[in-house]
A = this chain, B = another copy of it.
Amino acid sequence: MNEKLKTFMDEKIPEIERELTNQLAKSDIPDILHESMTYSIQAGGKRIRPLLVLAVLSDLHLDSADALKVAASVELIHTYSLIHDDLPCMDDDDFRRGKPTNHKKFGEDVATLAGDAMQALAFQALADLRETPPAAAIELVGLLAKASGAQGMVKGQVLDMKGEQQVLPLADLEEVHLHKTGALLAYCIDAGAVLAEATADQRFQLARFSRNIGLAFQIQDDILDVTATTEQLGKPANSDMTSEKSTYPSLLGIEGAQTQLKARHEEAINALRSIDLEHSILHLLADYIIERNK
């Protein structure tokens, strides 16, 4: 991994995890609920979303004590979605990141409620910002709600479920990903831009970056599902193939998917270049996202 990125991640990831623990440290949460929420929050994960928030701030040379709260908030949304996604009535997964899923450990009832509570906690974190002007904080609430709800992430999950029984054209597959994973990734970058009081042009180009890096992230996920081992992934490899889901490799072949990945990556970097962020943490994170092997 690039040295500058490694330094950034080595510094920020422990801060993100401390902030997540802080967010959960409320004395009046019942034990079993607190345990269940903590279990999934501490299950690891790459913390890509909070890192994106912090990368934008770092690249735009701004710092705010609120940045970590905003970063933790989006990880709470991401984690709640994983808990609900794994439920028997959804993807019915027994393992995630090599550990039993939340409902396997705590039961479906507690897992459902832990997800619900985690979503509320994400918005509570935004209401707790202290240095951010209220108008910016309420803008973040609106952006996060839209990105995570019926017009964003949840929309993507519904489209994904509907698409599982059929071969989707590429445009429909992109529509799934732009919502299911893309909307929240785009929020992270836009949230950083809101905190940093970025210009309209910066926000526009950062959105172009997000859109392309979000798709690149998903293409790489699909490729890894075919090429990586179960051990590397911490979940069964080839699970998409088994379920006959449409994926980039199934529609385009491995090579075609790799060509798409490269094109999306270049377009993302072009967006950064146009706002003089070629030499940025965001650029390094984009490289990292498409070069990861799990």
Q: Which residues of A pack against B, CB within 8 Å?
A: 26, 28-30, 32-34, 37, 80-81, 84, 87-90, 107-110, 112-113, 115-117, 119-121, 123-124, 126-129, 133-135, 137-139, 141-142, 144-146, 148-151, 154-155, 157-159, 161-162
Contact = CB atoms under 8 A, between A and B. Distances in A.
A128 B150 contact: no
A145 B76 CA distance: 13
Given A137-B138, A145-B120, A29 B127 contact: no
B29 A117 contact: no
Contacts of A141: 123-124, 126-127, 138, 141
Contacts of A116: 80-81, 84, 115-116, 119, 149, 154
Contacts of A84: 112-113, 116
14 contacts: A26-B150, A28-B151, A30-B150, A30-B158, A30-B162, A33-B158, A89-B109, A110-B161, A116-B154, A120-B149, A121-B145, A124-B149, A127-B145, A133-B134
Q: Which of A90, A119, A146 has the most CB of B within 10 A?
A: A119
B139 A137 contact: no
A124 B138 contact: no
Contacts of A120: 119, 145-146, 148-150, 154
